[in-house]
Structure formats: C-alpha cells, structure tokens
C-alpha cells in the first residue's frame, strides 16, 4: 500500500454538490475504491522486456481474422511512432500476448494505452461498432533472463496449439 490510511479516508466519500453562490454549483468528485477496482500500481520502468497479456472484454464477440489485421496494424503504427521494440506476439480469439521493450524515456503504461486506443479504433471501424474492446487492465511481467525469455516465447508459440486453433506452432 502506497498511502497508509487512504482507504479509511476515502471510505464513504461520494460525489457531493455544494452551492457556492446564487446560481453556481461546485461538484466535488473523489475517487472511491470499490471491490471491483484494482489497486495494482504499475512500475514506471524502461529498458526491460515485458511479457504482456491483454484480454478482450467478456461482452465482446471473439476476434476474427479481420480484427487480427486491425490489431496488428495498430501495433505496428504505434511501434513506428513510439519506437518500442516488439520481439514477439501472438493473437488469440479472446486475448493477445506480446514481448515489448519500451524505448528509453517511454513507459509501458503509455505504450499500452496507445496500442489499446489505436486497436480499439481499428476493430470498431471494421466491425462498425462502438465502445471499449479491451479490459481496462492488462497483465505484465518483467522477463528477467534469457531462460525466462525463451520459455515465454515457447509459451506464446504453443498457445494456439494448446487451444486447438492450429496443429503446429508455425501454422
């Protein structure tokens, strides 16, 4: 916990509207933690390799080949603009994985926000839909050494095989 006592201080706080003058109102909004809100804090780290998992919202239909093309195009556009390294990725019908190394001075949360916005726009355009595509959170793990990197790449290659989407990793 980064701020001891914050939960107790925020408990029970709601949006309050106070009358400031004759015709003006001031709305005070305070963040309130709920059981549904994650308390996960992201490290602002660069120069490391991150293994990313980004999940589709459960209310969305599974991704199609057209959606994969939109997602891949969005990732490549953001990559060209932000110049991060992408050493591997796999797209599944309900999630995707990537190995990403942010450029010095950039952060993973900024990159992921850019990729999620760009891919949401592309997927919604192809589906003629609106609204969010991805879960608000994503999962990341720093890859600490060559052995872990190799295991992660193997996991990504075998993921479609284990799900029965292809018969061999190279398919």
Residue 26 lies in a domain: no
Residue 68 lies in a domain: yes
CA angle 46, 48, 53 (to 5 degrees): 100
Closest CA to 135 of 1, 31, 17, 38: 38
| pLDDT tens-digit profile, the chain (171 residues) | 333 443 443 344 343 444 444 554 444 444 344 444 455 555 566 679 999 999 999 999 999 999 999 999 999 999 999 999 999 999 999 999 999 999 998 999 999 999 999 999 999 999 999 999 999 999 999 999 999 999 999 999 999 999 999 999 888
Which pLDDT does position 47 carry in this prediction? 75
Residue 80 lies in a domain: yes
In three-state form (DSSP H/G/I as H, E/B as E, the rest C), the secondary structure along the chain is: CCCCCHHHHHCCCCCEEEECCCCCEEEECCCCCCCCCCCCCCCCCCCCEEEEEEEECCCCCCCCHHHHHHHHHHHHHHHHHHCCEEEEEEECCCEEEEEEECCCCCCHHHHHHHHHHHHHHHHHHHHCCCCCCECCCCEEEEECCHHHHHHHHHHHHHHHHHCCCCCCCCC
Can you give the pTM of this predicted structure?
A: 0.73
CATH value at residue 153: 3.30.70.1290
Residue 33 lies in a domain: no
Residue 2 lies in a domain: no
Whole-Å CA distances, 158 to 83, 163, 167: 28, 9, 10
Residue 13 lies in a domain: no
Residue 60 lies in a domain: yes
Residue 112 lies in a domain: yes
Which pLDDT does position 108 carry in this prediction? 93
Q: Which two tokens stand for residue 138?
A: 């994503």
Show the domain range for 116: 49-162
Which pLDDT does position 20 carry in this prediction? 46
Which pLDDT does position 38 carry in this prediction? 53
Which pLDDT does position 147 carry in this prediction? 97
Could you give the number of structural domains in the chain?
Answer: 1
């Amino acid at each position: 916990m980064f701020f001891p006592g914050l939960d107790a201080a925020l408990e029970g706080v709601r949006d309050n509207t106070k009358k400031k003058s004759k015709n003006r109102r001031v709305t005070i909004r305070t963040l309130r933690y709920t059981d549904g809100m994650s308390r996960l804090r992201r490290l602002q780290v660069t120069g490391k390799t991150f293994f990313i998992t980004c999940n589709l919202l459960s209310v969305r239909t599974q991704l199609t080949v057209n959606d994969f093309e939109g997602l891949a195009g969005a990732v490549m556009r953001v990559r060209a603009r932000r110049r991060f390294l992408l050493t591997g990725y796999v797209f599944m019908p309900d999630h995707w994985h990537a190995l990403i190394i942010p450029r010095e001075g950039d952060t993973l949360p900024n990159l992921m926000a850019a990729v999620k916005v760009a891919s949401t726009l592309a997927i919604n355009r192809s589906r003629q839909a609106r609204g969010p595509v991805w879960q608000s959170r994503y999962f990341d793990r720093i890859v600490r050494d060559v052995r872990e990197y190799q295991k992660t790449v193997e996991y990504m290659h075998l993921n479609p095989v284990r799900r029965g989407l292809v018969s061999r990793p190279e398919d």
